[in-house]
Amino acid sequence: MLGRVKFKLVSMVHNGLHHRAPRYLMDCCIPVSEVASRRHFCSARRHYLVVPRHNLSSYGRRAFAVAGPAAWNSLSDDLHDPTLSTDCFRRLLKTHLFSEYRTSTYNALEVSHFMCYTNLQRTYLLTYLLTMFRILSRSHTSQFYNSITKLNID
């Protein structure tokens, strides 16, 4: 889910929990602690929301009733604090989403850089070995040929 979409979605959930949203959105934000059979769960103390089951795999998970509580539950616990003001919550949420984005981007860049470096290293090694093989094969040295055939390059 894109960061700006998640920001808007979670902001709407926060407004719903603080009774600053339309009634139909507030009805979708049900804390686990308000469900009698789930009050003893750890998720009730962590201020999680109930994520209803959905039937349609294509549209059901994108409905606000499902996507809103799921996005809320994916946040860190310090953002679930019900005493946070809207301004403070939005500031912390932006910080959280930016750090989440920066971490995921860094990991992707690190992997691509590593793959390029590994391929480059392998290319240099193969070029070096082929050059040495050509030089030594001209002088008819079989010792070098035997040492190359023993190497296992993946």
Residue 94 within a domain: no
Q: Which residues pair with 31 in a beta bridge?
A: 49
The count of structural domains within the chain is 2
Q: What does pTM read for this prediction?
A: 0.60
Q: Taking the C-alpha atoms of 32, 66, 11 and 95 in order, what is their torsion angle to the nearest 10 degrees?
A: 90
Same structural domain for residues 70 and 128? no
Instruction: Check residue 37 and report its DSSP letter.
Output: G
Q: What are 42-63's pLDDT values in tens digits?
A: 655 667 888 888 776 667 777 8
- The answer to the question of residue 92 being in a domain is no
pLDDT of residue 31: 84
Note whether residue 96 is domain-resident. no
Do 72 and 129 reside in the same domain of the chain?
no
Residues 131 and 76 in one domain: no
The number of helix segments (H) and strand segments (E) in the chain equals 6, 0
CA distance 71 to 100: 13
Q: Who has greater pLDDT, 144 or 73?
A: 73
> Does residue 101 form part of some domain?
no
Range of the domain at 61: 3-84
Is 136 part of a structural domain of the chain? yes
